[in-house]
Chain A
């Protein structure tokens, strides 16, 4: 086919070569496509059915004389029920199929690698926990599930990788996430799919899915950087957090060791699992989540820390949790 294009039949070749399917490069892409084909088949079947019936009636019952009065036909309850029930059953099948897939899509595997993403007008900032930071590019190893946790520094953006069939809004002020398991080595589009202002169309990037070997080489090849947790630890000292949140307890504020992923009873009586969103909230609006037995004296860090620093601090708190668990 490529030869055809080169031999000059350019417009015909452009049509022949034009992909009618985006690359399918994640573990769910094939399943999404199957559902898409089923939906396409239903669409074509019913469109052709309606068109053929209308066309047949148009010809068969065309007006033959100006004063023609056609016979009356009566409404048939059986017909009405048929064309209510059959589409309803089809909808039930579609709903169940699509929802099962969606639920699967919304639960990242426990062993997924985490990548943190910050959207800003008009670029993607991507952070690996090991330290490397990328702009508008993401390198990931093939066949390793990746969980993207993202936020926005300004307006709403949307992280969309057509080849993986995944998409999620990046919202200011909160964390959203998606996951994918890339199955094909290659380079794939990253698009912003939520209108975000002047250069929305240029808020694009590339996902590089690499073999494990190439990925290791890429990681080793970059300049040496601290991991996110290490940078978070430095911020923890720099901003004085460590003065109250004394390791091992006994400070004016609770120790953060072992906290991540655990349910925590708040002074409001509510119990919440300590996750990224809660840690973020504790840093920016501390008194809204303060815990019993401690005075609500923590100042807000709103405006002092940027989104990257908050993510570093979260990574640090998470690393404390895993140290504790590893220690047990």
Chain B
């Protein structure tokens, strides 16, 4: 689409100076306090980490083509799935949208010049990179074999792998989350432009506000848990291992007290992105703004009291099981409300199907399946059968990959013209989105079936009757890998060769589209004053062609 539009509210004369070219040299990046540059630096690091986690996943799927293992020994396979889980969760999904798009967009969307604490923001990046370095050292020195869940006493006293180094990496990266969350909360409270009231905020901001609360409240718990694990492993202090006086279930309670909310750290920002994409590409105000906004907060709060549903088969009391089951059903409701509101937003819209919208529609479909299959696991009697099987693996990949990652890719495609000032080839982007959707379903749908049939997860070798479904899954994974590789190529290509995007290539509402692309270092030529609600498409000027 060649409808680069300039917003007539602002100076239509584009300056050649922007945040990317206002200064040059590696030092100007490493010492920057510009939230936009920091966002891009996160993007570079997490893309690298994603590739590491992706290679591990590819090797796993290759190995599972044969029931006896096609490629590697069980010991290596265990390290592969552990590396995949740890890297993807702690070093990709958790920081993905908040640290990249959140950093880039929050100040611009609320009409601020930067986040509240720019130097703290840079420090968060360095802390995160330090965490990544420890994780990489652990991987290079052989990798850990504990799974991303680190259950003791296996992880604390039995594993012969560099658990402490990996744990230290996660511990350190956690502080980056906490500081980023703190920065965002203060920014959203204190830095909004005149007229940007709470109920005029884009829903992306509400979603990241809810995410930041979980960062601040949940991350310290995982830090403490990992610290205790390290104490037990290094000094044999009996905390989790019953042989030396500990309680292994205590670890699981603490771990899931963070790690269940962490699922919402991954999915809430994507939900925020989807609200932006659905409105922009249907030119409609969001249906049920306050319901969508408050459902984010409801999810953030309730997510802290559902951790026990990971422990229905641990011997936890029946009454605890009943309570956690009912709470897990309750947390499903706000997610359902969001899906219905997004769908209703499309009603009587003017819907176009550029690549970001395809990702958004893919998100709704896959997230719906992911959410509904969660009901199987909230239901006590079916969870007993499905817990610890591939059904769970399929369910959370529908949420974390079909949901969180689709939202991330949709967001990257939507704001790429703003970030780089260039357009990518839309046709390739649509093809990639379709390939990702097909490859994803081919990979993970068979896992629901094989899980129901009883195949446990984390098996390096498996019973032959499961082979057919595993081959399907591995075939899907190779399609998925192609779908992820294509955007990497054309996005990098577009940075140099893409046609200029103009201020508002999508005809979208929101302050970020009123400034030039890429934005100037100070974000706006003139500090904005907000006079209308979010997504006020009914009163939009027709986009200039």
Interface residues of A (CB under 8 A from B): 14-15, 18-22, 28, 31-32, 35-36, 39, 42-43, 46-47, 50-51, 53-54, 57-58, 61-64, 66-73, 75, 79-80, 83-84, 87-88, 91-92, 94-95, 97-99, 101-103, 105-106, 121, 154-156, 158, 160, 162-163, 165-169, 171-174, 176, 189, 191-202, 204
Contact A72 B318 (CB under 8 A): no
Contact A95-B154, Cβ < 8 Å, known A57-B347, A172-B242:
no
B 308-333 binary contact with A (CB < 8 Å = 1; else 0): 00000111001001100110011011
Contact check, A66 vs B543: say whether CB atoms are below 8 A apart: yes
Taking the nearest CB of chain B, how far is it from the CB of A158, in angstroms? 6
Q: Is residue B249 within 8 Å, beta carbon to beta carbon, of the partner chain?
A: yes
Q: Is B373 an interface residue (CB 8 A)?
A: yes
Q: A9 → chain B, closest Cβ, in Å?
A: 14
Tally the A-B contacts, defined by beta carbons under 8 Å: 274
Contact of A32 among B282, B291, B322, B385 (CB under 8 A): B385
Chain B: which residue is nearest A169 at the CB level?
A: B314
Confirm or deny: B227 has a beta carbon within 8 angstroms of a beta carbon on chain A: no
Apart from A57-B349, A63-B350, A71-B348, what are 7 other A-B pairs with CB-CB below 8 Å? A19-B465, A54-B343, A69-B283, A70-B537, A95-B329, A98-B382, A197-B145
Shortest Cβ-Cβ A-B pairs, 8 listed: A162-B454, A173-B242, A98-B379, A102-B380, A101-B381, A67-B542, A201-B459, A193-B388
Min CB distance A72 to B, Å, is 4
Pick the interface stretch among B17-25, B40-48, B334-342, B485-493. Answer: B334-342
Q: Please name all residues of chain A whose beta carbon is closer than 8 Å to the beta carbon of B329 when the two chains form the complex.
A: 91-92, 94-95
Closest CB in chain A relative to B265 CB, distance in Å = 23
CB distance from B454 to the nearest CB of A (A): 3
Choose among B339, B343, B372, B537 the residue with the greatest number of A CB atoms under 10 Å from its CB.
B372
- Residues of A within 8 Å of B538, CB to CB, are 69-72
**CB–CB B241/A172 < 8 A:** yes
Q: Would A200 and B381 be within 8 Å (CB), given that A43-B369, A70-B350 are in contact?
A: no
Contact, CB under 8 Å: A171 / B249: yes
Contact A50 B380 (CB under 8 A): no
Q: Say yes or no: B248 contacts A171, CB within 8 Å.
A: yes
Contact indicator B364/A54 (Cβ below 8 Å): yes
- Asked whether B545 is an interface residue with its Cβ less than 8 Å from the other chain, the reply is yes
B residues bordering A, Cβ < 8 Å?
Answer: 3, 74-75, 78, 145, 147, 149, 151, 153-154, 158-159, 241-243, 248-249, 282-285, 287-291, 313-315, 318, 321-322, 325-326, 329-330, 332-333, 336-337, 339-341, 343-344, 346-353, 361, 364-365, 368-369, 372-373, 375-376, 378-385, 387-389, 449, 452-454, 456-463, 465, 468-469, 537-538, 540, 542-543, 545
A261 to B322: give the CA distance in the assembly, Å: 26
Q: A121 CA to B74 CA in the complex, in Å? A: 14
Main secondary structure of the interface of A (DSSP, over half): mixed
Give the CA-CA distance A64 to B378 in the complex, in Å. Answer: 44
- Which B residues lie within 8 Å of A39 (CB)? 375-376, 379, 382
Chain B residues with Cβ below 8 Å from A189 are 454, 463
**Bound form: Cα–Cα A87–B333 in Å:** 7
Given A62-B352, A66-B545, verify A156-B333 contact (CB < 8 Å): no
Bound-state Cα–Cα, A269 to B378, Å: 39
Q: Give the distance in Å from the alpha carbon of A224 to the alpha carbon of B464 in the complex.
A: 36
Chain A positions within 8 Å of B545 at CB level: 66-67
By the criterion CB–CB under 8 Å, are A167 and B384 in contact?
yes
Q: Knowing A22-B452, A42-B375, A58-B361 are in contact, say whether A36-B382 is a contact too (CB < 8 A).
A: yes
- B78: chain A residues within 8 A (beta carbon): 195, 197-198, 200
Cβ of A99 and Cβ of B325 under 8 Å apart?
yes
Shortest CB–CB separation between residue A83 and chain B, in angstroms? 4
Determine whether the beta carbon of A50 is less than 8 Å from that of B542. no
Task: Please name the residue on chain A nearest to B542 by beta carbon.
Answer: A67
Kindly state the separation between the CA atoms of A21 and B350 in the bound complex, as whole angstroms. Answer: 44
A202 CA to B346 CA, complexed, in Å = 51
Chain B residues contacting A70 (CB-CB under 8 Å) are 282-284, 348-350, 537-538
